[in-house]
Amino acid sequence: MTFDLQKIVRPKIFNLEPYHCARDDFQDGVLLDANENAHGPTQQGLDASNSELHRYPDPHQLEFKTAMASYRNKTSTYKAENLTPLTSENLCLGVGSDESIDAIIRATCVPGKEKILVLPPTYSMYSVCAEINDIEIVECPLLYKNNSFQMDTESVLTVLQNDPLIKLLFITSPGNPTGARIETERIETVLQNWTDGLVVVDEAYIDFCGGSTAPLVTKYPNLVTLQTLSKSFGLAGIRLGMTYASKDLAKILNAMKAPYNISRLASDFALKAVQHDNLQLMESNAKKINDEKHRLLRELTSLDYVDDQYVGGLDANFIMIRVNKGDNTLAKKLYLALATESGVVVRFRGTELGCSGCLRITVGTPPENDKLIKEFKKLLAELVNE
């Protein structure tokens, strides 16, 4: 099966000429090209000579992209395949993964005509972005009855092969709210058997379990992998997402983006995050979170009126537990009581497919988890005895 990017990307996007400015060519010297205010920021006490906030940021972010690509190459589990290494040319940066999701939909789907395929229960922003862009949403549920929340590969391929208007398949791995990483073999099966669109693997939580598909974009031109600095890197506030794709597709996505979409402050923090010592700190923190995750799970699933089997997987920085064999009323009351009486905010997910009676709980610091466990026990006991 042959993949033809030109047939996947909308014609005007495929032929789009990117915005070009003098700063693409020259970033040093007396900069009088971009109509910036050379007197510096108009804030008292801010060191104008050092902040550089009066200058537009680097439009390409090559230093960060190179470091990020190098890290994924080094930590890849696919080295035995002798993959072509990722480079900066395989990346496009966005304001969080949400901008990346929107961009890939706009690049490929004709409004009012074409479709995306999602695998519920899943991240809701795929549907939000599709609705905004007037794109129809098709669903093929995950395998939830056996609690694996894996992709139903055979059913997915049947849907894709029977509907030529579907241009994108969104796979969340590890899943949200399921916490289960989708087996790479299942993803590769789809990549090998469907070339009429793009398989988009959203890996916001991948550093808590490993096994990123990002290096595989040099093998499969129909694969796109999304990541973010919001979770394992602890930088949700800077809003920086990464799209890994073939060089041809990454070039198109970079042509689409606003020329200075990544702020100077975000760029500075992102670059610091991928320095060796900070990468080691990220990995260390991910391990601490995983250790606490198992403690939290043991404590909560040992309680009466909480199912002893967690829901989904343990591949992210959260757990999902089921209250009283799927009792949505009790779960919703517990969610509200935790927030209003104890000041502990978790997420009620009982309306999601296969998640009746479920609460999704982010793993906090040990003291935060201690408070959650204490308040959870107290409030659950009070609610069941009402």
- Look up residue 200 and give its two tokens: 């988009």
Are 260 and 346 a contacting pair, CB within 8 Å?
A: no
pLDDT digits (tens, 9 = 90+) for 207-248: 999 999 999 999 999 999 999 999 999 999 999 999 999 999
Tell me the pLDDT band of 57, cut-offs 50, 70 and 90.
Answer: confident
pLDDT, residue 108, reads: 98
Residue 242 main-chain phi, psi, to 5 deg: -125, 135
Residue 81 main-chain phi, psi, to 5 deg: -85, 0
For domain 5-21+59-274, give the CATH number: 3.40.640.10
pLDDT, residue 153, reads: 98
pLDDT, residue 49, reads: 54
DSSP label of 34: S
Instruction: State the Cα–Cα distance between residues 216 and 198, nearest whole angstrom.
Output: 13
Weakest mean pLDDT among 38-47, 183-192, 323-332, 374-383: 38-47
DSSP label of 150: B
**From the centroid of its chain, how far is CA 63?**
22
Tell me the domain boundaries of the chain. Answer: 5-21+59-274, 283-384
pLDDT, residue 190, reads: 98
pLDDT, residue 186, reads: 98
Out of 3.30.420.40, 3.40.50.300, 3.90.1150.10, 3.30.200.20, the CATH code matching 283-384 is 3.90.1150.10
How many CA atoms lie less than 13 Å away from 166 in the CB half-sphere?
23
pLDDT digits (tens, 9 = 90+) for 124-171: 999 999 999 999 999 999 999 999 999 999 999 999 999 999 999 999
